[in-house]
Structure 1
Amino acid sequence: MHFQLTDDQRALQAGLRDVLKGGGVEWSELVDVGLFTLRLPEADGGVGLGLPEAVLAFEEAGRALVPGPLVGTELAATLGLTGRAEVVRVPARGTLLVPHLPTLAQVLLLDDHELTVFGPETLDAEPARAVDPQTPLWRVTGPLPAPRQRLDPPTAHRIAAEATLLTAALQAGLAARTVADAVRYAQQREQFGQPIGAFQAVQHLCADMLARAELARVAVYAAAVSGDADEIAGAKLLADDAAVHGARDCLQVHGGMGFTWEASVHLLLKRAWAWEQACADRDRCLDQLATGLADGLAEHL
């Protein structure tokens, strides 16, 4: 598939990268730049762009490691809901975990063929241990109350696919960040009188990181254009692999420094783990691909 960014899309990327540069961006700034209203019609106060532009924006948010309920808030806006929101899938087993629960205005709960909206204050929940310190979790301990809203299956399928795609975009941005951080450190850190980037083993490590990150990026872009559920699942798998393995390799390049709290490398790995489980984990994506493959084969029998 040929995919060439337009001048407007490149300007969107550059503008968001400039806003997010250096980290520490406030939530109000994200609202002001229109991150969550990119796809709303201009008549409704939005920017009137499409899903590919939202993917580009979320890629930049992932690169900057922006915390918070980004995906859910953007998707809630497309449903006419305001305020912070999280999209959470009903787990196949275990308890329901909701990130950022006390700060939310909406909880969008995805079942296999249904999307329900809950008020966070109606959920009985307690704090749960989280791998990412910037993504706190709450465990739902009681039965689910009556929802505020129940949406039809087509809407549920759309939200599920778009949530997976936007999370994949975050992971693609994070993967690109791991490459940049590893290369920068390899150019600065010296051993035996020369930068460690001069050593072939480090060069190969960084090259593998770049290959995975670029493959994930083009897969996410292609899925954003096609909107195909199978392509979205494949893009999420590739983006998760690029982000998690990239963060691990970035830590390897940093050596002992990568394990310290002073370095941001551990945050990259923890966020990659958190986003890997968000919206559609590995098993769900593989199930989607297997179903799509089976359906495709059945059509030709």
Structure 2
Amino acid sequence: MDFRLTDDQRALRRGVRELLAGRFGPEVLRAAVDREGAVDRELWRELGEAGFFSLRLPESQGGAGLGLPEAVLVFEEAGRALLNGPLVATHVAAGRVPGAADGSRVITCGTQLPALVPHFADADAVVVIHGSALRVRDPKDLPHARPMRSMDPLTPLHRISAGPKAPPLPDAVLLTAAEQLGCAARATEMAVRYAKDREQFGRPIGGFQAVKHLCAQMLVRTEVARAAVYAAAVTGDFTEIAGAKLLADEAAVRGARDCLQVFGGMGFTWEADVHLHLKRAWLRARMWLTFAEAEEVQAEALASAL
């Protein structure tokens, strides 16, 4: 198989990056932090108009008729920009829940963490997974939802009454892995740029061997995860998707931590964006398919192959 991007895919990725750079730049990101992660409804509708949620719907349903590989590229850019909101849930609900595809409604969904729902207060509908079926609930019909403290200031969380545990949605797992990939790539970019600009003892810190090693390891983890995510998007195999999530989680979490190390004390300040990437990476690593669950999928696949 040829996993190289086509010209159209490169153009799609470039277009999404330009859209988010113009519409969700540093000042807007900080404004989102000040709003405690509340969804910007105007931006949500703009994303819907741009085809963010309807990307994989057939043209007969108003979509672009593209596939999972293209969706992965879009969500990678969203992760890179730290775009907040229940992006994966709304995308998965497009074509199934009215208003999801065009961004006129915000759709959230419980993750594999029992009864943990992101952006519940902003949601117009909550998707509850029962086996392979998706059931749509009105948030008002879930009166026992309780807000809880979130490690990510851009992702408010609620806890609702737990139902039977459902298997993860493969598409949701992979798109979350794509967001992690974008986060890992951005952390690597920030670390390299800072290492070139920051000077100690009269020379850029990027010239020191320890810093070089950190940046090199970040790049290797990111590119390994990228290969796994892109391949899983083509094959659609759940074992490969779980492996991609495993590698992307590691690249995002360790990458953000290493980026903090490169930044030194500056990285821990509220003004720097490094900590935002780390906190989001921590949270995503526990969403849809946890690290331990992904390891179990890989272990079962290896055992069955013996």
**TM-score between the two structures when normalised by the length of structure 1:** 0.88
Report the more deviating stretch, 82-91 or 230-239. Answer: 82-91
- Residue 110 of structure 2 aligns to a residue whose secondary structure is strand
Residue 108 (structure 2) pairs with residue 86 (structure 1): yes
**Structure 1 residues 105, 233: closer, same or farther in 2, change over 3 A?**
same
C-alpha separation in 2, matches of 1:34 and 1:15: 12
8 Å Cα contact 1:90-1:109 kept in structure 2: no
Residue 267 (structure 2) pairs with residue 258 (structure 1): yes
C-alpha separation in 2, matches of 1:204 and 1:257: 20
Could you tell me how far 1:288 is from its partner in structure 2? 1.8
8 Å Cα contact 1:89-1:110 kept in structure 2: no
Residue 213 (structure 2) pairs with residue 215 (structure 1): no
Q: CA RMSD in A?
A: 1.8
- Residue 217 of structure 1 aligns to a residue whose secondary structure is helix
Could you tell me how far 1:169 is from its partner in structure 2? 0.3
Aligned counterpart, 1:4: 4
Aligned counterpart, 2:141: 122
C-alpha separation in 2, matches of 1:202 and 1:182: 9
Report the more deviating stretch, 225-234 or 116-125. Answer: 116-125
- Residue 132 of structure 1 aligns to a residue whose secondary structure is coil
C-alpha separation in 1, matches of 2:269 and 2:86: 26
8 Å Cα contact 2:56-2:65 kept in structure 1: yes
Residue 69 (structure 2) pairs with residue 56 (structure 1): no
Residue correspondences, number? 281
1:10-64: per-residue Cα shift (whole Å, max 9, x none)? 0000000111113538223222211111001112111111111000100011111
8 Å Cα contact 2:111-2:117 kept in structure 1: no
Residue 48 (structure 2) pairs with residue 31 (structure 1): yes
Q: Unpaired runs of 5+ in structure 1?
A: 145-155
C-alpha separation in 2, matches of 1:135 and 1:44: 30
Match of 2:82 among 46, 56, 65: 65
The letter for the 1-side match of 2:93 is A
Residue 243 (structure 2) pairs with residue 234 (structure 1): yes
8 Å Cα contact 2:170-2:241 kept in structure 1: yes
Could you tell me how far 1:3 is from its partner in structure 2? 0.8
The letter for the 2-side match of 1:70 is L
Could you tell me how far 1:88 is from its partner in structure 2? 1.8
**TM-score between the two structures when normalised by the length of structure 2:** 0.87
**Structure 1 residues 16, 202: closer, same or farther in 2, change over 3 A?**
same
1:178-199: per-residue Cα shift (whole Å, max 9, x none)? 0000011111111111111111
C-alpha separation in 1, matches of 2:46 and 2:201: 45
Q: How does 1:96-245 map to 2 (within 5 A)?
A: 96-110=115-129, 115-123=134-142, 124-140=144-160, 142=161, 160-245=169-254
Q: Unpaired runs of 5+ in structure 2?
A: 30-42, 100-104
Could you tell me how far 1:126 is from its partner in structure 2? 1.4
C-alpha separation in 1, matches of 2:54 and 2:242: 24
C-alpha separation in 2, matches of 1:198 and 1:213: 21
Could you tell me how far 1:79 is from its partner in structure 2? 2.3
Could you tell me how far 1:208 is from its partner in structure 2? 0.2
Percent identity, aligned pairs only? 56
- Residue 285 of structure 1 aligns to a residue whose secondary structure is helix
